[in-house]
Structure 1
Amino acid sequence: MPSTDGRHRAAVLGSPIAHSLSPVLHRAAYAALGLGDWTYDRFEIDERALPGFVEDLDGAWAGLSLTMPLKRAIVPLLDGVSETAASVEAVNTVVFGADGRRTGDNTDVPGMAAALRERGVEKVESAAILGAGATASSALAALSGICAGPVTAYVRSAARADEMRGWGERLGVDVRIADWAEADHALTAPLVIATTPAGAADELAGAVPERPGTLFDVLYEPWPTRLAAAWADRGGAVVGGLDLLVHQAVLQVGQMTGLDAPLAVMRAAGEAALAGRTPDVSV
């Protein structure tokens, strides 16, 4: 058992946060690892409340998970960030050291790569991204290690297009921009990553090709999305939002506790929790 000097508290922060699966996953890991005195909670925190919340944390805290809209708001409150987090200017994990130092990381990026690798996707010649929000930048970072050729981003506005071009230059990815009106063309790519909100890509379900490649849809509720269901019906490989959530949470648990997190146990807990929910579009 690693020493954490009395640190045994963790939580996920964000707004909205009520439907986050992170407590289910982390608590399942603690139970499997025998960490009976560890707790993991959720707090409804927006950008305005974040500084005060962080300042009030005591020495019992081991770490935090951050979801929207806090992944960038947390950065000025930290003592340092990892290279991965700096590359996408977003932090989803904070680990507190014994000396109180706050270090930020981004486990979404390696979590995406791990989820794809688990399904046998380690290298692709090209890829497409649907959307251009914060998750799209993490997708680009993940693709920087596995995509040999161009990544086409399908966006709705010129401002989003500029952002994606900027991220591409920063991450060393050949990003090409296409209008959302042509998003059905994205579905012929060997790897498609859908980073859009619930319902936004439903219109593309009827355009899935006869022999699709791999779809990575970052949503986990509702699941399957219309696009994911149509993709699977055509025989294409589908990676879902729960896969991403579990893989990034495994990395968070490891950083906060110093132990190897139980992937299978955490996935089973997440699947059970989703199966027991009534239909809801909140994530």
Structure 2
Amino acid sequence: MTAGLPLGRGGGRRCAVLGSPIAHSLSPVLHQAAYRELGLDWDYRAFDVSAQALPGFLAGLSDEWRGLSLTMPLKRAVIDLCDRVESRGRLLGSINTVVFDERGRRSGHNTDVPGFIQALTARGVRDLDTAIIIGGGATAASAMAAAAELGAHRVTVVARSVERASHLTGLAEPLRLAVQLVDFEALDALPAADLVVSTIPAAGQSGIAMHVARLGACVFEVSYHPETTPVLVAAREAGVPAIPGFDLLLQQAARQVELMVGVAAAPVEAMRAAGLLALSQR
């Protein structure tokens, strides 16, 4: 499907972000900014790919490809299509990065966890005891792992469907967390926590935004599209410190650049400037 795509100018490597929907993605802006700063003539684009189409897409890639970023609904689907998967990504059931070696072998990585940690610590959140995570998908698993690494002992997961999110309770022992799983109807009864992470789309936040915002000493909104979500608005109106989704997007993308390109440190500030400019023009 993609082997016939032209290479970057000068025969550079190819990378891409896959997901569905994907037209809103800022990943091409961030990665291309990194390539410019690093003096690389690489190409990075977005492709709308469903979970069902993913095996065929991967099979059609030529040896010019170096890496892929994965978003909804592919973070679980890609795991069994990798030749090697890092232990953290395997545990969480969430892979958002695939890197190809010189023989075309696929290694799967999770850069969401270090992205969460870097975004939180950069905003002064370094020591947690409790956290509440809204949503029960792959990103929620990464948020749980990040909270654990920052010292959290107790995490409450609030999911629309407790049954579909039940796999997250299996992370309690390996992450050394006490995990409680409740549905949205329990929001009003939950005690406040050090951190609340919203991993649900903006379209599903309207009826619960104020409840979510009032549950945490700090609110982390994972979604960056749209830039301002109901949860972010509610947090700001309530005077609660809020971290926007762009912070996570930027930091996880920086780790991806390091993995795909093989550099020790991605040019984060160049990526940040390009991403914020693109957001301001939407």
Q: TM-score, normalised by structure 2?
A: 0.89
Are residue 106 (structure 1) and residue 113 (structure 2) matched? no
Using the alignment, how far apart are the partners of 1:52 and 1:25 within structure 2?
26
Are residue 272 (structure 1) and residue 282 (structure 2) matched? no
Q: Deviations over 1:109-168 (max 9, x none)?
A: 111111101111111111111121221111111112113321111223330352231232
Moved more, 23-32 or 195-204: 195-204
Using the alignment, how far apart are the partners of 1:161 and 1:99 within structure 2?
37
1:195 matched residue in structure 2: 199
1:88 matched residue in structure 2: 92
- What does residue range 1-283 of structure 1 map to in structure 2 within 5 Å? 8-35=13-40, 37-186=41-190, 188-207=192-211, 213-259=217-263, 260-277=265-282
Note closer, same or farther for the CA distance 1:161–1:103 as it changes in structure 2 (3 Å cut): closer
Q: Deviations over 1:156-181 (max 9, x none)?
A: 33303522312323433210123311
Using the alignment, how far apart are the partners of 2:235 and 2:60 within structure 1?
47
Asked if structure 1 preserves the Cα contact closer than 8 Å seen for 2:137 and 2:165, the reply is: no
Asked if structure 2 preserves the Cα contact closer than 8 Å seen for 1:127 and 1:147, the reply is: no
Q: Deviations over 1:226-265 (max 9, x none)?
A: 2212212333221111100000000000111112211111
Asked if structure 2 preserves the Cα contact closer than 8 Å seen for 1:13 and 1:45, the reply is: yes
Note closer, same or farther for the CA distance 1:137–1:225 as it changes in structure 2 (3 Å cut): same
Using the alignment, how far apart are the partners of 1:40 and 1:161 within structure 2?
33
Using the alignment, how far apart are the partners of 1:52 and 1:210 within structure 2?
45
Aligned-residue offset at 1:99:
2.4
Q: Secondary structure at the match of 1:160?
A: coil
In structure 1, stretches of 5+ residues that fail to align are 1-5, 278-283
Note closer, same or farther for the CA distance 1:123–1:217 as it changes in structure 2 (3 Å cut): same
Moved more, 48-57 or 167-176: 167-176
Q: TM-score, normalised by structure 1?
A: 0.89
Aligned-residue offset at 1:74:
1.4
Q: Secondary structure at the match of 1:90?
A: coil
Q: Deviations over 1:162-214 (max 9, x none)?
A: 22312323433210123311224557212101111213233334447789511
| Percentage of identical aligned residues | 47
Note closer, same or farther for the CA distance 1:243–1:184 as it changes in structure 2 (3 Å cut): farther
Aligned-residue offset at 1:12:
0.7
Using the alignment, how far apart are the partners of 1:171 and 1:209 within structure 2?
26
Moved more, 46-55 or 101-110: 46-55
In structure 2, stretches of 5+ residues that fail to align are 1-10
Asked if structure 2 preserves the Cα contact closer than 8 Å seen for 1:211 and 1:236, the reply is: no
Note closer, same or farther for the CA distance 1:137–1:7 as it changes in structure 2 (3 Å cut): same
Aligned-residue offset at 1:59:
1.6
Asked if structure 2 preserves the Cα contact closer than 8 Å seen for 1:7 and 1:61, the reply is: no
Number of residues paired by the alignment? 271
Note closer, same or farther for the CA distance 1:88–1:206 as it changes in structure 2 (3 Å cut): closer
Using the alignment, how far apart are the partners of 2:266 and 2:215 within structure 1?
36
Using the alignment, how far apart are the partners of 1:200 and 1:30 within structure 2?
35
Letter aligned with residue 119 of structure 1? R
